[in-house]
Amino acid sequence: MEWTDEGIVLGVRRHGESSAIVELLTRGHGRHLGLVRGGAGSRMRPLLQPGNGVRAVWRARLDEHLGTYAIEGLRLRAGALLASSHAVYGVTHLAALARLLPERDPHEDIYDMLEHTLDDFDDAGGAAAHVVRFELAMLAECGFGLDLSNCAASGETNDLIYVSPKSGGAVSRSAGEPWRDRLLPLPAFLREGEGGANGFSNEDLQDGFRLTGLFLLRHVLEPRGQGHSDAREGFINAVLKRRARASGA
């Protein structure tokens, strides 16, 4: 068995004296592990950092075997990502989310979205908005997508500013007014047609994470006996601190 694919490094663990087991999210073969001989050595270590984009050749005698990887670098982002705390937390959190996907099951849209998110960590607010959207995409991929295109109560498609914490559907301003204290805010950067205009305030970002966090916990994490990763909270706090420093400069 042999295939060649693009991949993003999610994690690495040492195996034996000099080898490493590398976990990739690949474009065409999903989340896939393989043994890299010499992967624990100084030559390969910089290449096998979370967030790096690689080309991988996987070989095994049988499809169900762990197999071995031959890996070369394509987009070595890790050096830039390690330069900021929000990016370090963000990469760790994104990898934890990707591990919710079943092994060896392709999810090309998620792969493309992860790649785009990793390429845009320079701006902390923009990175946070990308991570919220990635969490929404993961909810949909796991079968629990939120319907934010029309009002769950009236069918309206305009002025959607709330989300029902029960159904996960959007709610318009007029329909939601009597129950606004019980509804979740829908930040501008998640509203269709608004393009994120004026949507990167700290409050909007926190509203976005509160929204996705609730449904991830309820539908995906808690049924598996899991909670949010510490890296998620670390990422949110690091983003808010960086934006506070920037606004005070």
Q: Is 72 exposed, middle or buried (0-12, 13-18, 19+ CB in 10 A)?
A: exposed
> What are the domain boundaries of the chain?
2-76, 84-248
pLDDT given for residue 199 in this prediction: 58
For residues 30 and 43, the answer to whether their CB atoms sit within 8 Å is: no
Annotation: CATH topology of 84-248: de novo design (two linked rop proteins) (1.20.1440)
Cα–Cα distance for residue pair 53/16, rounded to 1 Å = 25
For residues 5 and 27, the answer to whether their CB atoms sit within 8 Å is: yes
Phi and psi torsions of 27, nearest 5°? -65, -45
Cα–Cα distance for residue pair 1/24, rounded to 1 Å = 18
Domain 2-76 has CATH 2.40.50.140: yes
What SS3 state is found at 243?
helix
Q: In Å, how far are 74, 117, 243 from 7, measured between CA atoms? A: 9, 14, 31
pLDDT tens, residue by residue, 36-46: 999 999 899 99
pTM of structure: 0.93
Residue stretches of the chain with pLDDT short of 70: 192-199, 249
pLDDT given for residue 156 in this prediction: 87
pLDDT given for residue 194 in this prediction: 58
pLDDT given for residue 249 in this prediction: 52
Q: Is 215 exposed, middle or buried (0-12, 13-18, 19+ CB in 10 A)?
A: buried
Q: Is 107 exposed, middle or buried (0-12, 13-18, 19+ CB in 10 A)?
A: buried
Question: Both ends of the chain: CA-CA distance in Å?
Answer: 56
